[in-house]
Every structure is written in C-alpha cells, then in structure tokens.
C-alpha cells in the first residue's frame, strides 16, 4: 500500500505536468487549455493509483484492470476536441495531446516520475519547437479563401496579383463583385500560416478589409 504522502506527491506531479502542457495549449487558443490538461493528467494518475490500491486492498491480482480502460475512455474525450470547421478538420493535435497527457498521468500515477517529466518535455518540444519550425518552413499549408472589401477593386486586384507573384503563391477562382458602393475581391490560395499572415498584413489598411476563411472541402 502507498503512503498518503506518496499518493499526494504522485497526484501533484501529474497535475503540474498537465498544467505545463495546458499553458502552451492556452496560449495558442486551443480547446484543451490549462484546466483540461491538468484534469486529464490528474484523473489518469488517480485511476492508476486506485487501480493498484483497490486491487491490493481486495487481494485482486488484476491490478491493471482500471488503468487498462483509461485508453478507451480518453478516446472519447479526444474525439470531442476534433471539430469540423468550414469543411475542414481541426483539433487533431489537441486530441493527440490529450492522449499523451493521459499516458503522462499514468506514468506519474505509477511513480515513474522521470518518465513523466521526460515525456512532458518531448510533448512541449513537439508543440513549440516543431510547431514553430513547421510554420517557419511553410510545411503546413491550407487552401484559404481571401475576401477583400474595398472601394477601388482595380488597384487592389493588381496589388494582389503582384504580391502573390512575389511570394510565389498561386491563386485560383479569382473574382470580383459589387456590394453596394464597395467592391469585393475574392480568390483562393494554398498558403502556410505565415504566408497568410503576410498577405493580410500587406493588404489591410484604411479603406481595405481583408477576411480569411478555410476553403470548403479541405480536409487535414
């Protein structure tokens, strides 16, 4: 049987590691933030502890029975983080993070502190460093619809074509329309997040409003 001090220590470590991962998710405005990540790690650690303690108390040899069902249960929580947005799928990274948080909680609940801490470091490396590199190297791309509202469509259309040509970004479905006194310029482009931000920053100014939405039918 574990001492009460040891149980508290394991739960505290699990909660702290979950909160650390949750901070990164919160900063990136993802569905599973600090509290969700903390609770996932805490719950799985508690289930792991209870699995062993209850089995020992009742003389049951199946001490991993409760813990073995954590993976199945956490799958439902992860599925809830995956959303369909304008025809696309978002939240896969968050769902995967919830799964690994459960594993980290189980490691802490089992007293494998080194494994839990090292795994947390790897998760943060993947979320922060690899995520930064993917954005920096334009590895993750999506088809986005750019909608520009302006009172002088001809000048903007020329500027858009020159801007995308300079960035070596191809566009399609280029079209213009009128809404009252304003002109709407729309086009689709396969861009990375950094390219999307650059296009918006270049076009947005007084008299011009640029909106960006995912293209329908895009799956990631």
Place of tokens 């490396």: 125
- Answer yes or no: is pLDDT of 206 > 90: no
The answer to whether residue 54 sits within a structural domain is yes
Tally of structural domains, the chain? 2
Q: Is there a single domain that holds both residue 146 and residue 129?
A: no
The answer to whether residue 219 sits within a structural domain is no
Residue pair 193/139 in contact by the 8 Å Cβ criterion: no
Q: Is there a single domain that holds both residue 197 and residue 126?
A: no
State which residues form the domain around 158: 141-214
SS3 19: helix
Give me the pLDDT at residue 87, please. 44
The residue ranking higher by pLDDT, 140 or 69, is 69
Q: Is there a single domain that holds both residue 205 and residue 116?
A: no
The answer to whether residue 220 sits within a structural domain is no
Of 89, 114, 136, the residue that ends a domain is: 136
Q: Is there a single domain that holds both residue 46 and residue 132?
A: yes
Each residue's pLDDT tens digit, 71-90: 777 777 766 666 554 444 55
Residues 8-35 have a mean pLDDT of 90
CATH of the domain at 183: 3.30.70.600
Highest mean pLDDT among 7-21, 66-80, 136-150: 7-21
At 62, the pLDDT band (50, 70, 90 cuts) reads low
Q: Measured between alpha carbons, how far is residue 128 from residues 20, 95, 119, 149 in Å? A: 12, 16, 14, 35
Q: Which of 2-16, 64-78, 153-167 has the lowest mean pLDDT?
A: 64-78
Q: Is there a single domain that holds both residue 124 and residue 174?
A: no
Of 136, 152, 176, the residue that ends a domain is: 136
- Answer yes or no: is pLDDT of 46 > 90: yes
Tell me the pLDDT of the chain averaged across its residues: 82
Give me the pLDDT at residue 220, please. 35
SS3 148: strand
Q: Is there a single domain that holds both residue 208 and residue 113?
A: no
Of 83, 109, 136, the residue that ends a domain is: 136
- Answer yes or no: is pLDDT of 52 > 80: yes
Give me the pLDDT at residue 139, please. 67
């Amino acid at each position: 049987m574990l001492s009460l001090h040891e149980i508290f220590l394991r739960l505290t470590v699990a909660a702290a590691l979950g909160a650390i991962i949750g901070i990164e998710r919160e900063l990136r405005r993802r569905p599973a933030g600090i509290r969700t990540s903390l609770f996932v790690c805490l719950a799985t650690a508690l289930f792991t502890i209870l699995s062993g303690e209850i089995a020992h108390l009742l003389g049951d040899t199946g001490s991993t029975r409760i813990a073995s069902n954590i993976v199945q249960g956490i799958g439902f929580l992860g599925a809830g983080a995956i959303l369909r947005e304008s025809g696309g799928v978002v939240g896969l990274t968050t769902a995967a993070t919830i799964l690994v948080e459960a594993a980290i909680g189980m490691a802490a609940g089992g007293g494998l502190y080194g494994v839990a801490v090292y795994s947390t470091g790897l998760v943060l490396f993947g979320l922060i460093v690899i995520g930064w590199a993917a954005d920096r190297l334009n590895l993750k791309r999506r088809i986005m619809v750019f909608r520009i509202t302006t009172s002088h469509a001809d000048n903007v259309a020329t500027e858009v074509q020159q801007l995308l040509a300079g960035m070596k970004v191809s566009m399609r479905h280029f079209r213009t329309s009128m809404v009252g006194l304003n002109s709407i310029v729309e086009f689709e482009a396969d861009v990375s997040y950094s390219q999307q931000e650059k296009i918006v920053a270049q076009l947005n100014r007084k008299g011009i409003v640029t909106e960006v939405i995912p293209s329908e039918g895009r799956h990631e």
